[in-house]
Amino acid sequence: MRQQFLFSPTLRDVPQGADIPSHQLMLRAGLIRQTASGIYSYLPLGKRVLNHVEKIIREEMNKSGAQEILMPAVQPSELWEESGRLDDYGPELMRLNDRNDREFVLGPTHEEVITSLVRDELNSYKKLPVNLYQIQTKYRDERRPRFGVLRSREFIMKDAYSFNPDTESLAQSYDAMYEAYSNIFRRCGLDFRAVKADAGAIGGKGGTHEFMVLSDVGEDTIAYSDASDYAANLEIADLPDTFSESAVPDEEITSVHTPAARSMDEVSTYLSVMHDQLIKSILFIVDDEPVLFICRGDHELNDVKIGNALDAGTTRLAEEEEIRNLFGTEPGFIGPVGIPENVKVMADYAVKGISSGVCGANETDTHLLHVHPKRDVHIDQYGDFRFVKEGDPAPDGGGTIQFAKGIEVGHVFKLGTKYSEALGAYYLDENGSSRPLLMGCYGIGVSRTLAAVIEQHHDEDGLIWPRSVAPFDLHLLVLNSKQEDQAELGESLYDNLRQQGYDVLFDDRNERAGVKFKDADLVGLPVRITCGKKADEGIVEVKTRETGEMEEVHADRLVDYLNALFR
């Protein structure tokens, strides 16, 4: 491609409103332009990278045995009613009506469409398992679209759905996807971790992993062990039960006046006790029943774990009114001692280790001292109900938990039968009985992956593409196109290198050398070849973008040199 014809408007300055390197560089190097908030056009350089990422995805998906299809972005709302998600999905779902006032949605994901697609076809165990995937545009009306294509409202996703007869088969499909994803992200040049994750709103029980690209701009926190390969999303990272029951204190419970001391900080300061001797009490309503969760004052209760632990339909925080009715006091002063019998008490493991604790007395401006969990509280169950903190022990017995930030680029899920049951996708097993299909779903944010690659591969001068996804392999520069020997050498190398199978961007523009070098660094192709002053001797300068290493190479040896470099 001759650069003079390339539609790649570059920007000298950092564009306003672009807060992270990938967003800034994609705008500056002319990869994308914004059309509306969270909605982007891809220009030739961006589209070429996208194509390369998609090619890698297709190769690995096909290798795993999955088959490519393409489903519509426009989906009838009735399908979403059938699955029960029309209301559950919330305002992220973009809706529209056709001329006959029939309702449609713009697909944010495709469980409904694919399940309806296969429900009359995959009706026998003999046709299973099947894994179908597509690369397609998705729509989500994100509350806060930001960071360019990292969190946009229209984006490209690779989504795959497996249909399996039994859990063993589902596990095989899941493992195959896990491996394909690992290959895909490795080939894209990404430093990533597969972390255990929460099943969330998509529903379904069983395994789920998120593929996280390690990056400071990531919106997710990964909790990982410094001594093993344990890694989980902070939301669900588990904690082992490492606490043994504390000794009973000599003192009996006593109440103290604590005017206006409600928060853990206020109580700690007022009574001069450490946070780890405080007992924090929070009332939840779990399927209409009140449940008091308690944890140590220096810990935070984790509602994802709480929801999962109770296997409940709905879990929510109690309203102030409900707290008043049950405990006869306001939220800041509730505690687990002497409470109504119908309130279950669930305690985080760490509460066990408190020997002389402090908690709310269920009376305004009053706390209790010398509380011992075993002696004074009727605890129904101990469990892992809190967020991990850095320095906590890892759950697999190896090492200590550390935190890192990650960008979620992929997600693999065991969905189970949620959609097959809701949408009536059944098959006949070997004994002729009808069973719902087991499903797995597997997503990759294709456009987000592009941004993630840039987050990990850039410097202050611009992009540094891994060869696997670079828009071109080589940037060929003629420094002064008015110098005949330079122009001639450039032209002949341009032909020759393309014949050798290289993608070449040929900067034959009538620009100053400084401009060309700056643009080359900004666009960040893996190797730059410059025809300059020594063109008359047939010598070019070869620079590797990543290392900055430069070498003079004779044009006759150039192909061998490059072949060695790229291999």
Binding site for ligand ATP (CB under 6 A): 109, 140, 142, 151-152, 155, 157, 408-411, 443, 445, 447-448
Whether the bond between 129 and the residue before it is cis, its omega within 30 degrees of 0, is yes
Q: 148 or 335: whose CB is closer to ligand ATP?
A: 148
The DSSP 8-state label assigned to residue 14 in this structure reads P
**Angle, CA of 342, 343 and 347, to the nearest 5°:** 145
Name the minimum Å distance from CB 420 to ligand ATP.
19
Structure tokens at 516: 């060309």
What are the strands of the beta sheet with 315-317, ordered from one edge? 315-317, 279-286, 289-296, 344-348, 381-383
Q: 185 or 349: whose CB is closer to ligand ATP?
A: 185
Name the minimum Å distance from CB 36 to ligand ATP.
14
Q: 164 or 449: whose CB is closer to ligand ATP?
A: 449
Name the minimum Å distance from CB 540 to ligand ATP.
40
Q: 138 or 516: whose CB is closer to ligand ATP?
A: 138
Q: 185 or 224: whose CB is closer to ligand ATP?
A: 185
Q: Go through 30-57 and write b for each residue having 16 or more CB atoms within 10 A of its CB, e for each that does not.
A: bbbebeeebebebbebbebbbebbbebb
Give the type of residue at 110: H
Name the minimum Å distance from CB 556 to ligand ATP.
46
* Residue with the two structure tokens 């309503």: 285
Residue 437's nearest CA partner among 78, 116, 189 is 116
* Residue with the two structure tokens 């706390």: 367
DSSP count for the chain of H helices, then E strands: 15, 31
Name the minimum Å distance from CB 159 to ligand ATP.
7
Structure tokens at 418: 């949620």
DSSP state string for 448-484: HHHHHHHHHSEETTEE---TTT-S-SEEEEES-TTSH
Name the minimum Å distance from CB 447 to ligand ATP.
6
Q: 142 or 330: whose CB is closer to ligand ATP?
A: 142
Q: 140 or 187: whose CB is closer to ligand ATP?
A: 140
Q: 147 or 387: whose CB is closer to ligand ATP?
A: 147
Report the largest interatomic distance among the alpha carbons of the chain, rounded to a whole angstrom: 97
* Residue with the two structure tokens 């082992």: 240
**Rg of the chain over all Cα atoms, to the nearest angstrom:** 30
The DSSP 8-state label assigned to residue 278 in this structure reads B
Contact 507, 478 (CB under 8 A): yes
Name the minimum Å distance from CB 51 to ligand ATP.
18
Q: 449 or 530: whose CB is closer to ligand ATP?
A: 449
Q: 410 or 471: whose CB is closer to ligand ATP?
A: 410
The DSSP 8-state label assigned to residue 189 in this structure reads T
* Residue with the two structure tokens 């924090």: 280
**Angle, CA of 211, 217 and 223, to the nearest 5°:** 50
3 state DSSP class of 371? strand
Q: State the residue number with the nearest CB to ligand ATP.
A: 445
Name the minimum Å distance from CB 225 to ligand ATP.
23
Name the minimum Å distance from CB 176 to ligand ATP.
18
Q: How far is it, in rounded angstroms, from Cα 230 to Cα 15? A: 39
Structure tokens at 332: 């800041």
Name the minimum Å distance from CB 58 to ligand ATP.
17
DSSP state string for 305-327: HHHHHHT-S-EEEPPHHHHHHHH
| Cα distance from N-terminal residue to C-terminal residue, the chain | 23
Name the minimum Å distance from CB 409 to ligand ATP.
5
Q: 84 or 340: whose CB is closer to ligand ATP?
A: 84
Q: 203 or 353: whose CB is closer to ligand ATP?
A: 203
Name the minimum Å distance from CB 109 to ligand ATP.
6
Structure tokens at 85: 């998600």
